[in-house]
Amino acid sequence: MKLKELAEQLGLSQTTVSRALNGYPEVNEATRERVNKAALKFGYSANANARRLAMGRVGAIGIVVPIHSSERFGPHTSEFLSGLAERLSRDEIDFLITPLINNDEISAYKRLISSKRVDAMIVSHPSLVDERVAMLAEAQFPFVLHGRTNIDTPHAWLDIDNKGAFYQATSHLLDLGHKHIAMIDGLKGFTFSEHREEGYRDALTERGISIDPNFIVHDCFSDEIGFRETQRFLSLKPHPTAILAGSMMTALGVSRAIRAKGYQLGKEVSIIAHDDVFPYLNASNMVPAMTTTRSSIRSAGTRIAEMLVRLLDGEPPETIHEVWPVELILRQSSGPPVIPAK
């Protein structure tokens, strides 16, 4: 069915039907509902290109990807993009991935804006004071930030409670009787990593436990880093009896190093890992099952896509922001410290 035929069936003008289908606010709710029901009944589907042209959009979201920064784009990226694509596909919106080669991100974002190839952008892995956010906000270009930054300019963002996640995990280990707790997390300067260290430090300080800088590592998320740094931890005296791993990839290396030392995971040394919920790396199927702070990166992608659609529909950016709580899931990799026999 064509737009003209649908309009004739409803006794409305083609302009009114088109505006109702595209969600224009000047069309009242009753008319929009009537038009949408008729479109469903008669199998009418608007041409995506025509709809974009009518609304002044190109139908794409931009993402800038540094190709030499594995600490920012690893296995979690595909999960995030899958969640993003799942939601954007409902509105026939594509995403355009722009590679960053020379680390000049500001120029890359400005180039995307001037190219007019995208309607909005996603900004990931913010720093504490992120110049990308300041630039995009000043340019009044629609974007959603995945994370948080300390910039007052109103903008849309989604983050998880990283500070609360590591505070909760550290507190649980303290409740079990651990006093020597180490952490391996992402690179310094990124907001999520700074917030996690704050949570870790706050939990220790509240219990009167001194903070050992030798027990704190900021680096890339990888099996190799987890293995190497845990070997170093276990050579210390006293060595940590519990380790917080900032990702499941890091936790694999931590577990390997603990076993290589001859220690039993969850007894001589406990682990709590942050789990982004990878379908190919299930914490409950590990041996022993991994205690985790859990937050789905795929769900975050889906939610950010919804926020982008709201932005493009005219909702003010200052009204679009969320902090998701992180759940601590107790399994067998964390337990009371084993007291050495006298």
Secondary structure of 244-308 as H, E, C letters: EECCHHHHHHHHHHHHHCCCCECCCEEEEEEECCECCECHHHCCCCCEEEECCHHHHHHHHHHHH
Phi, psi angles (nearest 5°) of residue 315:
-70, 135
Indicate if the alpha-carbon torsion angle 55, 57, 59, 65 is positive or negative: negative
CB count in 10 Å sphere of residue 42 = 12
From the CA atom positions of the chain, what is the Rg in Å? 24
pLDDT tens, residue order, the chain (342 aa): 778 888 888 999 988 887 887 767 778 888 988 988 898 888 776 655 555 555 567 889 999 987 765 556 667 788 899 999 988 988 889 989 888 877 788 999 999 999 999 999 999 999 999 999 999 999 999 999 999 999 989 999 999 999 999 999 999 999 999 999 999 999 999 999 999 999 999 999 999 999 999 999 999 999 999 999 999 999 999 999 999 999 999 999 999 999 999 999 999 999 999 987 877 788 888 999 999 999 999 999 999 999 999 998 889 999 999 999 999 999 999 999 986 554
Residues of the chain with CATH 3.40.50.2300: 60-160+298-325, 162-295
The 3-state DSSP class for residue 105 equals helix
How many helices and strands in the chain, by DSSP H and E?
Answer: 12, 12
* Type of residue found at 173: L
pLDDT for residue 253: 97
pTM value?
0.82
End-to-end CA distance of the chain: 84
Q: What is the pLDDT of residue 48?
A: 55
C-alpha torsion sign, points 294, 227, 194, 210: positive
Range list of H helices, 145-221: 162-176, 191-206
Q: How many angstroms separate the CA atoms of 13 and 257, rounded?
A: 71
What pLDDT shows up at residue 49?
A: 54
What is the predicted pLDDT for the residue at 53? Answer: 52
Q: Give residue 4's pLDDT.
A: 83
Q: For the chain, give every residue range classified as CATH 1.10.260.40.
A: 3-46
**CA 143 – CA 157 distance, rounded (Å):** 9
H/E stretch holding 181: strand 181-185
pLDDT at 327: 94
Query: Class of the 3-46 domain?
Result: mainly alpha
Collapsed DSSP state (helix, strand, coil) of residue 78: helix
CATH 3.40.50.2300 corresponds to the domain 60-160+298-325: yes
Q: Return the CATH class of domain 162-295.
A: alpha beta
Per-residue pLDDT at 342? 46
